[in-house]
Amino acid sequence: MLIGTTVVLIAVMCASIFFGSSGLRPGEVLKGLRTLAQSGSKSSPAAQIVMLRLLRIGLGVLVGASLGLSGFLLQTAFRNPLADSYLLGVSGGAQLSVTLVALFGISGAVGIMPVMVIAPLAGALGVLVLLLMISKRLGHDLLAFLLSGLALSYMLNAMYSILVSARPNILSHSVFWSWMGLNRASGSAVTVVAAGLVIAVPIVMTHMRPLRAYLVGDDFATNVGVNVRRTRLGMLFVSVALAATDVAASGVVGFAGLFSPHLARLLTRHTDRTFVMLTMLMGAILVVFGDLLARSVSLSEIPLNTVLSLFGAPYMIWLATKTRRAV
């Protein structure tokens, strides 16, 4: 399953190299790849375009894997198949924080961390605190929790709209940033997301046993020696940190975190390390393929979030209906 999914990802990556809105023919793409491989020079237009595509693909793979892992952790922490950083307002909180940073003209770094990484992390953590308070009050009512998360997401979007309306000078920057997707891919963006994954993946892989016990229920997890509260908070913090790095690198990208675990479930019913890897691979496929569609279907690039939402909204309706029937 891992090999087959990896082959699909490689096929999507190859298609993303050869197709796009620039109109390069396959021969020109191959020539650009040879130029980059032989001398590393970006002197020719074809080599420059190919290099940009390679950066987008690399960032897309990392962002997709990060969103997939974040979605898995959120769905596990809340035991809710509809949990997702985009739907629950975590990405919205990160976006609002970045807008505030732009509004006040804050730049620089806090220690070794750039402000544009600290800001979305702080906003996402603030939303996490609100989600925990809501979850504590609602208990196990999944539908009410989802509706509360959606309401929180709408409230954050409303606050974002008020800010950019009150200060038109940051409107173009904020809108472009929130819609940017992978079109501002750079080495620093790749580094930010990769650093989050390098820290998060080993943590998740070494804690699969308590995660599986947690999924069964709090009582069972406690009986086998799992600290339920610490496990839940750990999962939530890691998932929010991953979502924040994704927002810092590629703006708001919705539904990939919701899709990926469900697609992985089509291949395996076991919650183990293989499932986590499949979830990350599915996320990478979704984001890279979505980016390919975003820059190929028209001369002007469509926001990646728009493309994924076009497919994500109908799936969410179907999933909500299925979950409701199961309840």
Q: What angle do CA 42, 48, 53 make, to 5 degrees?
A: 130
Whether 122 has a pLDDT exceeding 70, the answer reads: yes
pLDDT-based confidence at residue 73 (cuts at 50, 70, 90): very high
The token duo for 71 is 């979605």
Instruction: Identify the CA nearest to 63 among candidates 96, 33, 89, 85.
Output: 85
Q: Please state the three-class secondary structure of 182-240 as a single string.
A: CCCCCHHHHHHHHHHHHHHHHHHHCCHHHHHHHHHCHHHHHHCCCCHHHHHHHHHHHHH
Q: What angle do CA 293, 299, 305 make, to 5 degrees?
A: 40
Do residues 228 and 217 make contact, with C-beta atoms less than 8 angstroms apart? Answer: no
* Radius of gyration, CA atoms only, the chain: 20
What pTM, to 2 d.p., does this model score? 0.85
**Pairing status of strand 113-114 against strand 109-110:** antiparallel
Whether 291 has a pLDDT exceeding 60, the answer reads: yes
Bridge partners (DSSP) listed for residue 113: 110
Each residue of 1-39: pLDDT tens digit? Answer: 899 999 999 999 999 988 877 777 778 888 878 877 776
Bridge partners (DSSP) listed for residue 110: 113
pLDDT-based confidence at residue 260 (cuts at 50, 70, 90): very high
Give me the sign of the Cα torsion angle 2, 312, 58, 30: positive
Q: How many CB atoms lie within 10 A of CB 229?
A: 10
User: Could you give the maximum distance between any two Cα atoms of the chain, in Å?
Assistant: 64
pLDDT-based confidence at residue 240 (cuts at 50, 70, 90): confident
pLDDT-based confidence at residue 201 (cuts at 50, 70, 90): very high
Supply the pLDDT for residue 259: 87
CATH of domain 2-326: 1.10.3470.10
Bridge partners (DSSP) listed for residue 109: 114
What's the one-letter identity of residue 273?
R
